[in-house]
Amino acid sequence: MLESRQDRLVGLVLVIGGSLLFWRTYSFHIVDWDPLGLAFWPRIVLGLLIASGAYLILRGSLDDGPFQKPVAKAFAYLAIIGAYAILMAPIGFLIATPVFIVAFHLSLGGWSFRNLIEACILAAVCTGFIYYVFQDLLLVQFPEGLLQEPI
């Protein structure tokens, strides 16, 4: 079903998304030092994208090559990565990272006592090593989150 409609779907997203962003360009600041202004270039790009999207909607499929349907489970893995990204600031790198590694490892390798032990060792070694390299050697300040000392 999606095979024949994927380009049309992309076209639809381009037309709707492009139009919304085109409309958004009217809220840009007006600058008096350049007659072309802030919106000049984005409007050219958006205009071409909207035109391409409209063509895709009218044309339908561009070719009948091999089609790979997106797999829902892949988005579940992305959700785990996304949760790690979102939670890193509030709970801190040193808590979020081992939790993420154990969760991701078990979701890939399956639940078993052996896998749990392996995941815990991996989490401890990997978190410690990356923390040492980035925080201590390269002086990158990771978010401390829950481990931050109260002022």
User: Residues in the site for another protein, rule: CB under 8 A?
Assistant: 6-7, 10, 14, 21, 24-25, 28-29, 31, 33-34, 36-42, 45-46, 48-49, 52, 55-56, 62-63, 65-71, 73-75, 77-78, 81-82, 84-86, 88-89, 97, 100-101, 104-105, 107-109, 115, 118, 122, 126-127, 130, 133-134, 138, 140-143
Q: Which is nearer to another protein, 49 or 95 (CB)?
A: 49
DSSP-assigned states of every residue in 68-128: -PPPHHHHHHHHHHHHHHHHHHHH-HHHHHHHHHHHHHHHHH-S-HHHHHHHHHHHHHHHH
Token couple for 64: 């009948």
Q: How far is the CB of 16 from another protein (least distance, A)?
A: 14
Token couple for 31: 């600058």
Q: Which is nearer to another protein, 64 or 149 (CB)?
A: 64
Q: Which is nearer to another protein, 19 or 37 (CB)?
A: 37
Residues 90, 91, 93, 97, CA torsion sign: negative
Q: Which is nearer to another protein, 131 or 151 (CB)?
A: 131
Q: How far is the CB of 1 from another protein (least distance, A)?
A: 14
Query: What gap in Å lies between CA 96 and CA 107, rounded to an integer?
Result: 16
Query: What gap in Å lies between CA 139 and CA 3, rounded to an integer?
Result: 49
Q: How far is the CB of 46 from another protein (least distance, A)?
A: 7
Cβ-based neighbour number of residue 97 at 10 Å: 20
Query: What gap in Å lies between CA 49 and CA 13, rounded to an integer?
Result: 10
Q: How far is the CB of 122 from another protein (least distance, A)?
A: 6
Q: How far is the CB of 147 from another protein (least distance, A)?
A: 15
